[in-house]
Amino acid sequence: MSTDFPYRTRRTVKPASMDTRREIAHQLLLEILEDAHWAPTHGLTQPWRFHVFTGQARTGLAEALQTLYDRITPVAEFRPEKRSKLRANCLHAPAIVAIASHFDAGGRVSKLDELCGTACAVQNLLLSAHQRGLGSFWSTPPVACSQEFTAWLGLDSTYCSLGLVFLGYPTERPATRSIRVPLEERVTFHNGSS
């Protein structure tokens, strides 16, 4: 079986390994987001929302994340290094996409379906970025998944934040080795025979 499918060669590229001097063209970001937009979704609700931060807007995002971290993190869980990393990641990656999912509490599609559909859109986004030579990192720190962050994005309580996707050109080729347990350990076939 071929191993050159993009989902087999994609690897996480953390912001520290992204080229800060190389911007991502707006048109390229649109192409990647369009690919994400074609994810499967129950009832065609297309629940995903993408808030894209580039240029100086990354500084505003970094400051907001740190302010919210200070406000919502319990004292016993506060970690200065995590707070610093929120800023560093935002300033290192040329583009950041905040991911949110919409759901209708009384609607015909469940919140779980909407979250799963949004996760499919993120997978499309990651694969599309990889195919175009970009590295990506989907990060879900509690502050970026909080209702406070969702509100900061200008979204109401019918939305749920699902973290941040950092995008940038890798400064080095990511390791291609990826360990997977044998497929048989994750699959059970049911064929109706006793």
Q: DSSP assignment of the chain, as one string? A: ----SHHHH--B--GGGB-TT-PPPHHHHHHHHHHHHT---GGG---EEEEEEETTHHHHHHHHHHHHHHHHS-GGG--HHHHHHHHHHHHHSSEEEEEEEE--TTSSS-HHHHHHHHHHHHHHHHHHHHHTT-EEEEE--GGGGSHHHHHHTT--TTEEEEEEEEEE-BSSPPP-------GGGT-----S--
pLDDT at 194 over 70: no
d(CA 97, CA 131): 18
pLDDT at 169 over 70: yes
Q: Which CATH architecture has domain 6-185?
A: 3-Layer(aba) Sandwich (3.40)
Who wins on pLDDT, 6 or 65? Answer: 65
Q: Side-chain half-sphere of 88: how many Cα atoms within 13 Å?
A: 11
Q: Which pLDDT value is given to residue 7?
A: 66
Residues in CB range of 124: below 8 A, 6 or more apart: 35, 36, 37, 38, 39
pLDDT at 37 over 60: yes
pLDDT at 161 over 60: yes
Residue 176 banded pLDDT, cuts 50, 70, 90: low
Q: Where are the domains of the chain?
A: 6-185
What pTM value is reported for the model? 0.91
Contact (Cβ atoms closer than 8 angstroms) between residue 162 and residue 194: no
Q: Which pLDDT value is given to residue 4?
A: 58
Q: Which pLDDT value is given to residue 164?
A: 98
Mean of pLDDT over the chain: 92
Who wins on pLDDT, 12 or 40? Answer: 40
Residue 143 banded pLDDT, cuts 50, 70, 90: very high
Residues in CB range of 55: below 8 A, 6 or more apart: 23
pLDDT > 70 fraction of the chain, expressed in percent and rounded:
93
Contact (Cβ atoms closer than 8 angstroms) between residue 168 and residue 13: yes
pLDDT at 102 over 60: yes
Residue 2 banded pLDDT, cuts 50, 70, 90: very low
